[in-house]
Chains A and B, each alone.
Chain A
Amino acid sequence: AQSVTQLGSHVSVSEGALVLLRCNYSSSVPPYLFWYVQYPNQGLQLLLKYTSAATLVKGINGFEAEFKKSETSFHLTKPSAHMSDAAEYFCAVSEGTDKLIFGTGTRLQVFP
């Protein structure tokens, strides 16, 4: 079965600093990979997805993620954090043909 590990349940950065949120998955077979964002009291919104095309995936709000098969990683980055990026971020991986497995989430705080 697939599993997803998000290193760091909380990440704090200053406004304007680089954002790096880490995600590692367990499969040796390249799966579909996703990053979602959740703002307070809302559902999850898709940020970006990897489906075996380009290994560098660009998403909404200036975020991007790079698929690295050798490291089984799919880390999320943004060059310059904005206060509005404060939210919880979830990495997810496809499991078989029917469902996704989600990580436990990373809460991003952005300080002025």
Chain B
Amino acid sequence: DAGITQSPRHKVTETGTPVTLRCHQTENHRYMYWYRQDPGHGLRLIHYSYGVKDTDKGEVSDGYSVSRSKTEDFLLTLESATSSQTSVYFCAISQTGNNEQYFGPGTRLTVT
């Protein structure tokens, strides 16, 4: 299994509070991705990174920001959480952007 961890694994937070999710890899892969998974929508890309300090938006980036200061870490921040951001968040990594991705175990976030 690819070495990908996500923290925390579960979080409950209140509307309006900031939240940061962390993805850590030990594979030295160039690309890292954040997705959210919701029933009926499959996986939707939030943001991705193609190198240290190089990031780009996905299809559902509003309300989210990311940072990548080291190859191994990719942070997803919800500046002011809303109930619509209640979801399961997955991190993924890839050596080349258009080839297979390896997924972390997910973080279940509930915004009350």
Contact = CB atoms under 8 A, between A and B. Distances in A.
Contact of A43 (B44, B99, B103): B103
Which bracket fits the contact residues of A?
A: 20 to 34
Interface string A7-18: 001000000000
Interface residues of B, number: 27
B50 interface: yes
Contacts, number: 59
Interface of B: 4, 31, 33, 35, 40-45, 48, 50, 56, 58, 90, 92, 96-106
Given A32-B98, A94-B99, A103-B42, 18 more contacts: A9-B40, A31-B98, A34-B100, A36-B103, A42-B106, A44-B43, A49-B100, A51-B99, A90-B42, A90-B43, A96-B97, A97-B97, A98-B50, A98-B98, A99-B45, A100-B98, A100-B101, A102-B43
